Amino acid sequence: MPYKDKEKKKEYDRLYRLNNKEKVKQIKKEWTEQNKEKVKGYELKYSQSEHGIKNKTIKRWISRGILCFDFDLLYDIFLKTTHCEYCNVELTTGLPRTLTTKCLDHNHSINDRFNVRAVLCNWCNINDVLSTN
């Protein structure tokens, strides 16, 4: 059913997906099964993209209990921080983790609405956690 108006086409597609959820789900499942290598390639490409790395990092922070009003801003601050806020050592990133690997230090108390304290090296983060417990 060709549409000249893109908005009408979008609305038609939206309603079709809404009214045929199981059929659409089955089509997607079959396509994914038949195109495993393509899917794997898309996932690999996305996970290595700037957006994919950012989303993975933020999801990891959330899973570790970090609370924040603006994760985009927090991520930008994290990226721009080049030195430990306690000992001033130059921070490194990536694997394997070392004593100078960049860490986001946070308060583990559930009562805090914003519990991020600082961007630290792994050494200061470990020692700070040990000294507060």
- Locate 91 and state its tokens: 């921070």
Q: What is the per-residue pLDDT for 130?
A: 45
pLDDT at 129 exceeding the cut of 60: no
Q: How does pLDDT run across 27-58, given as a tens digit for each residue?
A: 999 999 999 999 999 899 998 899 999 999 99
- Whether the link from the prior residue into 96 is cis, omega within 30° of 0, is yes
pTM for the whole structure: 0.65
Tens of pLDDT along 86-127?
A: 899 999 988 888 899 998 888 766 665 567 888 999 999 888
Other residues' Cβ atoms within 10 Å of the Cβ of residue 104: 21
| Six-digit token string for 99 | 């004593």
d(C-alpha 91, C-alpha 73), whole Å: 19
Q: Which candidate, 48, 43, 95, 105, places its Cα nearest to that of 74?
A: 105
Contact 117, 108 (CB under 8 A): no
Distances (CA, A) of 51 to 5, 57, 80, 86: 31, 10, 16, 29
Structure tokens at 51: 């957006």
Average pLDDT value for residue range 52-78: 90
3 — pLDDT class (breaks 50, 70, 90)? low
